[in-house]
Amino acid sequence: MLTVGAVAELTNVTIRTLHHYDEIGLVRPRHRTDAGYRLYDDRDLERLQTVLFYRELGFALEDISTLMSDPDFDRGRALREQRKHLEGESHRLERMIQAIDDAIDAHERGIPMDNETMFEVFGEEQRAYQREAEERWGDSGAWAQSRRRTADYTDQDWLELKAESEAIVTEIVEVFRSGEPADSTAAMDAVDAHRQQISRRFYDCSHEMQVGLGEMYVADPRFAATYEGLAVGLAAWARDAIVANARRAGVEVD
Amino acid sequence: MLTVGAVAELTNVTIRTLHHYDEIGLVRPRHRTDAGYRLYDDRDLERLQTVLFYRELGFALEDISTLMSDPDFDRGRALREQRKHLEGESHRLERMIQAIDDAIDAHERGIPMDNETMFEVFGEEQRAYQREAEERWGDSGAWAQSRRRTADYTDQDWLELKAESEAIVTEIVEVFRSGEPADSTAAMDAVDAHRQQISRRFYDCSHEMQVGLGEMYVADPRFAATYEGLAVGLAAWARDAIVANARRAGVEVD
DNA sequence: GATGCGGCCTCACGTCACGTGAGGGTCAAG
DNA sequence: CTTGACCCTCACGTGACGTGAGGCCGCATC
């Protein structure tokens, strides 16, 4: 028969947690000393062990309670659902780690830099692209808006932007890899995130303009190389997804 | 200039979250209508975007606040620390998924009591953890004996073994479900059948060795998952039954 | 111009799984 | 008989919101 302190040490939980489980009736030690000290016997410890097992699996305490009291409870379904939940969490975590790696990377390379960070972050290709873009769009349109809006972005802003962009691209690649067709909701949502990010960060990007970008991703070898380097067939698929997304938004595309 | 509802839809957060961020001063829309409606402009949206970025990385809102207000903040360290934290979480999640898979496995095979049971359980688990078992028991002991003895089992032998194991586990589960205490004759007989089968089929399993197995069923999450998947509390109960059975046979157990 | 209806506002309490004291009793050792 | 480690019960705090209640705003419709 162990007291709270001993049980706490044994099972690696805090005393308060034991008090809490007692309060909510999840693990009630069946004995007390005359002075009111909780005393846990073997069966109490077993119950606690089972509770901790399910807690480790991420179940809520109330669900554990249900699970342990109702013998007809559908454990299989609960376990499968919990598994799905955990898998989603795991994927999310991996993406987060990826994104944070990028942020660290950018941070380490970005901090000692001045306001030219933009070129470093986006790579050398951006510099060449800038001239072309000016020719294509003129200096009074979207590109100008983009330059105005980004003029006073700090280094930090650029780092964030890069990580953000990579997260979006990662998502697009994942949807592509999963075999979703270009006109699936997942695909359209993924490319629309791209469009929205451009709108927020650079210039107001309409669906028509994004379709133009999409065409460029396929036709322009620099972009094509970048996207095909991520996954074969990605550039064309992304363009199709952009078109489908535009159509979904009621935009006419030929 | 967007209202809360529009921003909520755009950025996929709830209105309440926007209210909350306003309350704690994390993202304060810089305009209001005469009626008091919140109005978010581009800069507000950018700030929100940055906040959501760090939130995605798992930062606490207060830390995000610090991070965004203090230009001398050591972002690199924060990012690295967060990375470490996420990696630990990721590992934990993977272990959880593994354990839940075992639990699902056991559940599916245990509840309908159909085809595979002990065969798969022992077969696969033993294969998967063979190295660990060898380390634990050495290659000249029980484990090696088990391998030698099962090396030339025919398919027919395995089928018999499987049926035998199923019957034994079914019996154990039934006794457990009937509410018999672990030191009842029924419980002790059921687990002794288990011991005798191991002795016949795998290696000479003394009471002491079975007690070791019992401890492992409770302590090792992989085994615990398997048994808890069959019935909540089964692992600990089985261990106690094994101990009681050993005592009945005159073996001293501490 | 009254009426609806969807969207917005501000309190303000609820949630989950405990953390963190305050104030005080208990118990074995010195 | 005191000391210090351990235990008890309140009871409020935490983080990141969820969830109404009660009421104003603005536009369309009858």
Residue spans of the domains in chain A: they are: 4-69, 78-248
- Contact assignment for B218 to A49 by CB distance below 8 Å: yes
What's the confidence (pLDDT) of residue A66? 87
SS3 A208: helix
Q: Which residue has the higher pLDDT, B18 or A205?
A: B18
Convert the pLDDT of each residue in B13-35 to its tens digit.
Answer: 999 999 999 999 999 999 999 99
Nearest by CB: A75 against B57, B75, B107: B107
Q: What percent of chain A has pLDDT over 70?
A: 62
- At residue B38, the pLDDT reads 97
Task: Report the residue of chain A nearest B233, measured CA to CA.
Answer: A50
Inter-chain residue contact A76 with B108, CB threshold 8 Å: yes
Measured CA to CA, the distance from residue A236 to residue B52 in angstroms comes to: 30
pLDDT score, position A143: 47
Fold of A78-248: Globin-like (1.10.490)
Q: Do the strands B31-32 and B38-39 form a parallel or antiparallel pair, or are they unpaired?
A: antiparallel
pLDDT at site B29? 96
Q: Which residues of B touch A145 (CB under 8 A)?
A: none
Q: A209-224 pLDDT, tens per residue?
A: 777 666 655 554 444 4
| Residues linked to residue A2 through DSSP beta bridges, in sequence order | A40
Q: Give the gap in angstroms from C-alpha A221 to the nearest C-alpha of chain B.
A: 31
- Residues B220, B105: Cα–Cα separation, whole Å: 16
What is the per-residue DSSP string for chain B?
-B-HHHHHHHHT--HHHHHHHHHTTSS--SEE-TT--EEB-HHHHHHHHHHHHHHHTT--HHHHHHHHH-TT--HHHHHHHHHHHHHHHHHHHHHHHHHHHHHHHHHHHHSS--S-SHHHHHHHHHHHTHHHHHHHH-TTSHHHHHHHHHHT--HHHHHHHHHHHHHHHHHHHHHHHTT--TTSHHHHHHHHHHHHHHHHHTS---HHHHHHHHHHHHHSHHHHHHHHHHSTTHHHHHHHHHHHHHHHTT----
CA distance B207 to B252: 10
Only one residue has tokens 């209508």, namely B33
Selected residue with higher pLDDT from A156 and B238: B238
The residue-averaged pLDDT of B211-234 equals: 62
- How confident is the model over B159-177, as pLDDT tens digits? 566 667 767 777 788 888 7
Q: Which of B94, B103, B133 is nearest to B221 (CA)?
A: B103
- Is residue B241 over pLDDT 80? yes
| pLDDT confidence of residue B42 | 82
Token couple for B196: 């005798």
CA-based nearest residue in chain A for residue B220: A53
Tokens of B185: 């004759």
Tell me the range of A81-85, A154-158, B186-190 where mean pLDDT is highest: B186-190
pLDDT value at position B27? 95
Closest CA to B218 of B195, B243, B196, B199: B243
Which residue from A57, A58, A76 is facing B107, i.e. has the nearest CB? Answer: A76
Same fold, A4-69 and A78-248: no
**Predicted confidence band of residue B37 (pLDDT cuts 50, 70, 90):** very high
> Is pLDDT above 60 for B137?
no
The pLDDT assigned to A226 comes to: 53
What would be the CATH architecture of the domain defined by A4-69?
Orthogonal Bundle (1.10)
When pLDDT is averaged across residues A53-64 and rounded to a whole number, the result is: 85
Looking at residue A254, what DSSP letter applies?
Answer: -
CA distance B51 to chain A (A): 10
Contacts of A223-226 spanning 24+ positions with Cβ under 8 A? A226/A125
Q: Which residues of B touch A (CB under 8 A)?
A: 10, 42, 45-46, 49-50, 53, 56-58, 75-76, 79-80, 82-83, 86-87, 89-90, 93-94, 96-97, 99-101, 103-104, 107-108, 111, 218, 221, 224-225, 228-229, 232-233, 236-237, 240
> Across the interface, do A57 and B90 touch by the CB < 8 Å criterion?
no
Query: Of B86, B239, B221, which is closest to residue A54 (Cα–Cα)?
Result: B221
Regarding predicted confidence, which is higher, A130 or A41? A41
| pLDDT(A97) > 90 | no
- Measured between CA atoms, the residue of chain B closest to residue A50 is B233
Would you state the pLDDT for residue B62? 92
How many interchain CB pairs under 8 A, A with B? 102
As a whole number, mean pLDDT of residues A91-117 equals 59
Question: Nearest nucleotide, C1' to the C-alpha of A38?
Answer: D7
What pLDDT does residue A101 have?
74
Percentage of chain A with pLDDT > 90?
16
Which positions on strand D lie below 7 Å from a protein C-beta?
A: 6-9, 15-19, 24-26
pLDDT of residue A165: 72
**pLDDT higher for A241 or A227?**
A241
CATH architecture of B84-248: Orthogonal Bundle (1.10)
What distance in Å separates the CA atoms of residue A54 and residue A71, rounded to the nearest whole number?
Answer: 16
Contacts of B186 (CB under 8 A, 6+ apart): B175, B178, B180
Contact B82 A100 (CB under 8 A): yes
Residue A114 has pLDDT above 90, yes or no: no
- Are the C-beta atoms of residues A183 and A244 closer than 8 Å to each other? yes
- Give the pLDDT confidence score for residue A203 in this predicted structure: 67
Higher-confidence residue of B147 and A251: namely: A251
Q: What is the pLDDT of residue B156?
A: 56
Residue tagged 């030339």 (tokens): B152
pLDDT digits (tens, 9 = 90+) for B77-136: 777 777 877 787 787 777 777 777 777 777 766 543 222 222 222 222 333 333 333 333
Q: What does the alpha-carbon distance between residue A137 and residue A253 come to, in Å, rounded to a whole number?
A: 20
Give pLDDT, residue B243. Answer: 85
Greater confidence (A61 vs A157) lies with A61
Instruction: Give pLDDT, residue A185.
Output: 84
List of residues 6+ apart from B30 with CB closer than 8 A: B41, B43, B44
Mean pLDDT of B224-228: 60
Q: Is the CB of B22 under 7 A from strand D?
A: no
* Beta-carbon contacts of residue A35 (< 8 Å; ≥ 6 apart): none
Q: Which range is least confidently modeled, A25-29, B6-10, B165-169, B182-186?
A: B165-169
pLDDT of A205 strictly over 80: no
Report CA(A13)–C1'(C23) in Å, whole number.
25
Predicted confidence at residue B18, as pLDDT, reads: 96
| pLDDT at residue B226 greater than cutoff 70 | no
- Say if the Cβ atoms of A90 and B90 lie within 8 Å: yes
